Structure 1
Amino acid sequence: MAFKPALVIVDLQEDFCPPNGSLAVEGGRDIVPTINELLSLPFPIKVATKDFHPQDHISFASNHPPPNNKPFESTTVITNPLNPEEKEETRLWPDHCVQGTKGSELLPELDVSKVHQIVEKGQDKRVEMYSAFMDPFPTCVSRSGLSKILKDAGVTDVFVVGLAADYCVKFTALDAKKEGFTTWVIAEATKAVDPSSLSDIYEEYATKGIAVIGKDDRTIRKVKEYS
């Protein structure tokens, strides 16, 4: 297949950014100029994703009884509602990106006029969903439709940016590869909750065939020449 790149901007939302985000990533807003630069390039497909949770989402600490309901500290085990043999331990978070709230909105600095499609994820209250593609269970409960959008458009290569590098960006990149796309993560267009985790994540990428690149990488130059 001929090279056809897509830019996937993960969860660049108010609740993931200072100064008021309930789950703010330090420096989260600082990557917007770089992402706007990338949006100005001739990617034929540009998608922005949004965490878009119902108020009773299972990942919210507020929806669990004490003492196991401390945001950032407590965890819970989620049982797949479609296959009870599948279980997933997940961290509990403050309420964030609740549908219809200011915190769920994309950053106003992001040049959304250049985004072709917005994909909402995390809408099924029963499962966690870091990836912009699907939940983590082998027997999938919730898909966002992102894979179909990209495949229907004939996309070959997915370039992943956004927040956070060690959660939603990571799992989006891993699933992009799993879905059959050549996958690139543009390092300076992401920020991590825990920057010290990045070396391990990059090692995992290397084992899966995912490349971490800079915004001036030769592959980005190839995007600039796309027509």
Structure 2
Amino acid sequence: MASKYPEIQGGGSLILAWQVRGKNVLVIGGGEVAAGRIVHVLNADAHVTVVCPRSGLNDEVAHRIAAGQVTHIDRPFAPSDLDDAAMVLCAVDDPAASTEVYQLCQARRIPANIADVPPECDFYFGSVHRDGPLQIMVSTNGNGPKMANIVRRKVAEGLPENAGAAILKVGELRRKLREVATTAEEGPKRMKWMSKVCEAWPLEDLCDMDDGDMEKLLGHYQEANVPSLAQIRAG
């Protein structure tokens, strides 16, 4: 008899939107892989420290340092570098040194990613599509990074060009709604009404919605009604 509940598929990862804003992220290495990792964590507003001899920096990492986007420690890794780290990203071509970093992180309970060594990773970097607030990650759980890139491009090709802009407007409307319906008891009703807006309005109308339209739309919240943009502007 088929179950009405989702089937469990073991062997996956728990994919989360990890908030590292304002946290200290340590990057060990300064090559191409390190450069990609740095972009990811800078986009998440982390404080980034790169430990690598200057001779090992590629052009992109050197640019981040010169622009003051990251802090640079000009020497090989030392265990004391972990003292203030909330996350460690290791990208060096030295398996023994990488394993040492991972073991030190495990002992200190610091989440770590050791590039190209899946068994020594507490988390993986997937292939990410970014459009403003919209982020979509494709992960192969360490099996095939190139395949993740291919799948991510296919997914991105199927998305509307204005998806990110529409999400920005939805976020603004949601914040305004919280000012109208402030109590915790209103939570379920807020969520249900916002879902109706997202389902009823096309992306083009969400993008075109201005502050005046939002105020008029919010006037229909108490009745749980969701008129169209044309109806709001006609009224």
Do the two structures share a fold, i.e. TM-score over 0.5? no
The structure number with the bigger radius of gyration is 2
More strand by share: 1
Please report the TM-score for the alignment, with normalisation by the length of structure 1.
0.27
Higher RCO (CA < 8 A, seq sep 6+) = 1
Please report the TM-score for the alignment, with normalisation by the length of structure 2.
0.27
